Amino acid sequence: MTSDHKRNTEGLAKAREKKSEECQERVDKAIQQLLKEKEKINFNSVAERANVSKKYLYDNHYDRIDTLRKQQEGLPSLKQVKREMTDASKDVLIAAKNKRIKELEKEVQRLKGILARRYGEDYDKGI
């Protein structure tokens, strides 16, 4: 049984094209703003300004951003876009690090136990 039914995907294609155009416009505007404000142009700064993902930029605008970034390398007095850390975000990082330290300490103790048993087995064998 073959079906001659053809799916209508025109609406999806139009929506995808519109979204792509909007992203392109946001990226163009972000780059223009960064140039005007004499800020560093890199994937992070453009992604943040244009509200797009870095993956989108790498996939669609790599050459352009990479060229602009390389052109700015020798220029002094460009502001570096840096994300501000709040006390809350610092606390989260500290908590995550403390948790990781505890996990690693447990792993070290587990491995020391294994090593001690292994040394005991070797001693019993006379090695």
**What local confidence, expressed as pLDDT, does residue 115 receive?**
93
* DSSP β-bridge partners for residue 79: 39
Domain shared by 19 and 69, yes or no = yes
Domain shared by 55 and 93, yes or no = no
In sequence order, which ranges of the chain are alpha helices (DSSP H)?
10-36, 43-50, 54-60, 62-72, 87-125
At 91-123, the pLDDT tens digits run 888 989 999 999 999 999 999 999 999 988 888
Domain shared by 15 and 40, yes or no = yes
In a domain, 43, yes or no: yes
**What local confidence, expressed as pLDDT, does residue 4 receive?**
74
**pTM exceeds cut of 0.85:** no
Domain shared by 106 and 69, yes or no = no
Rounded CA separation 59/55 (Å): 6
3-state secondary structure of 39: strand
Number of structural domains (the chain) is 2
HSE on the CB side for 124, CA within 13 Å?
6
**What local confidence, expressed as pLDDT, does residue 8 receive?**
82
